[in-house]
Amino acid sequence: MMPSEAEIRDFTACITELVQLWSCISIQALDTVPLLRILPNPSLQRLLQVVEKRDAFVRAQIQRHQESLEPERPRDVVDHLLLAMGDLGPKRLHMALVDLFIGGTETTAALLAWACAFLVRHPEVQDRIHAELQDVLGPTAPLRPRDRDRLPLLSATLNETLRLRPPVPLALPHRTTRPTSVAGMSIPQDTIVIPNLFAAHHDETKWLEPEEFRPERFLAPGALRDLLPFSCGARACPGEALARAEALVTLGRLLREFRLEPAVLGTLPALNVVSFGIVLRCPSLCLRLVPRPRAPPPARGHTLVTPLPGVMTPLPGELP
């Protein structure tokens, strides 16, 4: 049950602005110094306005689905959540959809952009992934999330991208409810703790050549142990499975059909981190999608040879 195109465009613009506002220093500082909330903050005022716009969209989607819900025939994830609302409650249902709409768009888009940027610089990895897709799925079988374990190099490439450029470089703030310690460092009660995932993924004591793009590191058993792009434990990102599924299918289908090349030959995309916001975005990226040759099946009753990729030539004497 899709919203109108105009609603989708407005909501997309809302989410984009929301992520940008979250990245403002004047907003991020509120997590570490809550007393700053008493001071005038135009960014915070605008953030609250955009949040209300976001919530109005979510409320409208819930109401539409409630009015047309058929319990025997759920149409989408909103219907399924409505059917489970007895367990969730209205507030949790609302925030579950907020997480889905925001966490399932901006972060996955950032992951895919970074993956493309790295792969343009490593065309040999592109070719190996394409060969893996052809070997496992053939030219026409659909790519599905459950194929992840059958596509180890594609999965490893996404994991390496998540390591080098975690879409959310700083995990959500937590507050200690009692005195504790981490790695020998004492942390008093009521301390705001913000895990630095980016630093953890570039720790030389955990990763060999941490600045290098090496997907094959995740082909080794146990390599996922120190990878934490979605955090871990009871407060891990609930959308991890969805994000991984979206990224696997999208990138896999892209590399199956196309070779990624720089828009201007000889000019490689930048990989520098411009700024640390809520979402770690890839610098502006412009690519050429070059279709990979795909030979159609031979016509019935004809034998065909291919002297050049994608060029089909009938053998002499076999024309109709």
| 317 confidence band (pLDDT: 50, 70, 90) | very low
In a domain, 140, yes or no: yes
Residue list, annotated binding site: 237
| 149 confidence band (pLDDT: 50, 70, 90) | very high
200 pLDDT higher than 60: yes
Residue list, annotated binding site for heme: 237
- Summarize the confidence of residues 198-204 as an average pLDDT: 95
HSE (side-chain half, CA atoms, 13 Å) at 62? 21
Does 268 or 116 have the greater pLDDT score?
116
Mean confidence (pLDDT) of the chain: 86
Tell me the residue type at 22. W
| 266 confidence band (pLDDT: 50, 70, 90) | confident
The reply to whether 122 and 95 lie within a common domain is no
The reply to whether 115 and 231 lie within a common domain is yes
Q: What percent of the chain has pLDDT over 70?
A: 90
315 pLDDT higher than 70: no
The reply to whether 95 and 120 lie within a common domain is no
273 pLDDT higher than 80: no
The reply to whether 151 and 245 lie within a common domain is yes
Looking at residue 296, what is its pLDDT?
56
Q: 160-174, 227-241, 262-276: lowest mean pLDDT where? A: 262-276
Q: 69-83, 85-99, 208-222: lowest mean pLDDT where? A: 85-99
The reply to whether 59 and 124 lie within a common domain is no
- Summarize the confidence of residues 176-204 as an average pLDDT: 93
303-315 burial: b if 16+ Cβ within 10 Å, else e:
eeeeeeeeeeeee
Out of 85, 100, 115, pick the residue that ends a domain.
100
- Per-residue pLDDT tens over the stretch 15-65: 888 888 887 888 888 877 888 888 999 999 999 999 999 999 999 999 999
> Which two structure tokens, joined as six digits, stand for 26?
């004047």
| 178 confidence band (pLDDT: 50, 70, 90) | very high
Please choose, from the candidates 297, 296, 283, 279, the residue with its C-alpha nearest in 3D space to the C-alpha of residue 17: 279
Q: pTM for this one?
A: 0.78
Q: 145-149, 231-235, 239-243, 299-303: lowest mean pLDDT where? A: 299-303
The reply to whether 134 and 276 lie within a common domain is yes
Tell me the residue type at 7. E
In a domain, 238, yes or no: yes
The reply to whether 183 and 74 lie within a common domain is no
The reply to whether 31 and 141 lie within a common domain is no
Distance of CA 103 to the CA centre of its chain: 9
Out of 57, 80, 100, pick the residue that ends a domain.
100
Identify the top-confidence range among 9-13, 104-108, 112-116. 112-116
Q: What is the domain range of residue 119?
A: 104-294
The reply to whether 2 and 65 lie within a common domain is yes
| 276 confidence band (pLDDT: 50, 70, 90) | low
Tell me how far apart the alpha carbons of residues 226 and 222 are, in angstroms, rounded to a whole number: 9
The reply to whether 193 and 109 lie within a common domain is yes
206 pLDDT higher than 90: yes
3-state secondary structure of 21: helix
Does 72 or 106 have the greater pLDDT score?
72
The reply to whether 18 and 127 lie within a common domain is no
In a domain, 69, yes or no: yes
How many domains are contained in the chain?
Answer: 2
300 pLDDT higher than 70: no
Q: What is the CATH number of the domain that holds 231?
A: 1.10.630.10
Tell me the residue type at 34. P
Tell me how far apart the alpha carbons of residues 197 and 130 are, in angstroms, rounded to a whole number: 30
In a domain, 315, yes or no: no
